[in-house]
Copies of this chain bind each other. A is one copy, B any other.
């Protein structure tokens, strides 16, 4: 099928605080069946584990290569496109995609330098709002509203399947993207720091909900997937405001 291994090879599956080691093994198996290989574990409760290896059933190379980190931030280093899976709809609604649209989004950005991350929360509570704040998009698997209890590996299976499908469907088809380079995560972080710094200098905050306000601003900019030149423009404007505010 002339599959571009590079696309699937740049997709990270990030599992946060997985409690059951068996689920990590099943997730590795689900990934490998679809050609994914990069597993990142944030504070797993138990890993390595015989249970994980047993469930991986031949996908133990994925487990052996798994990266273990202490924070989501570390897990996402070098990622330009970050999508968090969650069944829950948020108080502050996040830009929402289905699994197919999420895979399309990843495919559309395959010329980017950085990796793509798909993040899965822990089995019982899913992703927290704070974790979701790192994400450009929320992926929502359209499950039965009366019983949406997909297990972790099943969710990974569906996402991995759609990633593989989007690549297969596109295979053979020439898509010319003359996109500008997207901003890196670091650039975005510095931009936000700068932005919130100015907000503070001019006294714009709502004491009763300062965090919500930050999240709203981040959501707005995350949603548009800022390019490198756009961040430069915004940083330039912020610097000029900064200078003007601190004149004399």
Q: Does A74 contact B (CB under 8 A)?
A: no
Which of B145, B220, B234 contacts A224, CB < 8 Å? B220
What is the CA–CA distance of A216 and B141 in the complex, to the nearest angstrom? 34
Q: What is the CB-to-nearest-CB distance from A150 to chain B, in angstroms, rounded to a whole number?
A: 5
Which of B34, B89, B198, B225 contacts A241, CB < 8 Å? B198
Q: Does A140 contact B (CB under 8 A)?
A: yes
Q: Determine whether the beta carbon of A180 is less than 8 Å from that of B59.
A: no
For A217, the closest partner residue in chain B by CB is B233
- 0/1 per residue, A11-54, Cβ < 8 Å to B? 00000000000000010011011110000000000000000000
Q: Determine whether the beta carbon of B149 is less than 8 Å from that of A29.
A: yes
The answer to whether residues A142 and B175 also contact, given A59-B147, A203-B244 and a CB cut-off of 8 A, is yes
Q: What is the CB-to-nearest-CB distance from A163 to chain B, in angstroms, rounded to a whole number?
A: 12
- A230 CB contacts on chain B under 8 angstroms: 216, 220
Q: Does A223 contact B (CB under 8 A)?
A: yes
Q: Does A199 contact B (CB under 8 A)?
A: yes
Q: Determine whether the beta carbon of A180 is less than 8 Å from that of B93.
A: yes
Stretch in contact with the other chain, from A94-102, A114-122, A124-132: A94-102
Q: Does A7 contact B (CB under 8 A)?
A: no
Q: What is the CB-to-nearest-CB distance from A135 to chain B, in angstroms, rounded to a whole number?
A: 15
The answer to whether residues A202 and B1 also contact, given A59-B147, A161-B158, A244-B245 and a CB cut-off of 8 A, is no
Q: Determine whether the beta carbon of B199 is less than 8 Å from that of A213.
A: no
Q: Determine whether the beta carbon of A204 is less than 8 Å from that of B98.
A: no
Q: Determine whether the beta carbon of A216 is less than 8 Å from that of B237.
A: no
Q: Determine whether the beta carbon of B178 is less than 8 Å from that of A89.
A: yes
Within 8 A of B (CB), among A131-146: 140-145
Q: Determine whether the beta carbon of B93 is less than 8 Å from that of A179.
A: yes
Q: Does A164 contact B (CB under 8 A)?
A: yes
Q: Determine whether the beta carbon of B220 is less than 8 Å from that of A30.
A: no
